[in-house]
Amino acid sequence: GCVLDGKLYPFGNIERTENCLKCSCSPRAMSCCSLFHTPVRYDKENCKVVFNQEICDYEVVLKSDPSTECVVYSRV
């Protein structure tokens, strides 16, 4: 298998690691990509970015009221 962040994963495709990555593990190498997109265009003065580990994605919420989502114009 392959080791990532101290955890052993079996050969083959790994749909989701503990760190929200999708990986492919082979005897020669392990390659991974993130399952989330980082917000880059939003109201940075009034909103903040919070990572939600359960859904493997960033949420952008009002600083004054974290229960209210902000509009995100683009992600990378």
Task: Based on the fold, state whether residues 44 and 28 are members of the same structural domain.
Answer: no
* C-alpha–C-alpha distance, residues 9 and 27, integer Å: 12
- Cβ within 8 Å of residue 30, ≥6 positions away: 2, 4, 9, 23, 24
Do 44 and 30 lie in one domain? The reply is no
Say whether both 15 and 30 belong to one domain.
yes
26 and 45 fall within a common domain: no
pTM of the model: 0.75
43 and 71 together in one domain:
yes
Same domain flag for 61 and 43:
yes
Q: Do strands 72-75 and 39-42 pair parallel, antiparallel, or not at all (unpaired)? A: antiparallel
67 and 51 in a common domain: yes
Note down the domain range covering 27.
Answer: 2-34
Please provide the average confidence, as pLDDT, over all residues in the chain: 95
Q: What is the pLDDT of residues 41-50, one digit of tens each?
A: 999 999 999 9
The three-state secondary structure class of 66 is coil
Instruction: List pLDDT tens digits, range 20-37.
Output: 999 999 999 999 999 999
Nearest to 29 by CA among 9, 44, 54: 9
The structural domain count of the chain equals 2
